[in-house]
Structure 1
Amino acid sequence: MRIRFTAEVYEWAARPNWFFVDVPSEPSADIADRPRMPRGFGAVRVTATIGATTWSTSIFPGGETYALPLKRAVLRAEGLEAGSTARVELEVHDG
Structure 2
Amino acid sequence: MTLPEEVADEIEFRFGHAGGFGSVPVRPTIGTSTWETSVFPDTKRGSYLLPVKGDVRRKEGVGEGDVVTLRLDVTAD
Counterpart of 2:70 in 1: which secondary structure?
A: strand
2:64 corresponding residue in structure 1: 82
Q: Which structure has more strand as a fraction of its residues?
A: 1
Q: Name which structure has the greater RCO, CA cutoff 8 Å, separation 6+.
A: 1
Q: TM-score, normalised by structure 1?
A: 0.70
Unmatched runs of 5 consecutive residues or more in structure 1 = 1-20
Quick one: distance in 1 between partners of 2:34 and 2:59?
11
How many residue pairs align between the two structures? 75
Kept in 2, the 8 Å contact 1:36–1:94? The answer is no
Structure 2 length-normalised TM: 0.85
What are the ranges of 5 or more consecutive residues in structure 2 without an aligned counterpart?
none
Q: Deviations over 1:35-82 (max 9, x none)?
A: 467421111000000011111110001121111111011011101111
Name whichever structure is richer in helix by fraction. Answer: 2
Runs of 4+ in 1 over 6 A off after TM superposition: none
**What percentage of aligned pairs have identical amino acids?**
39
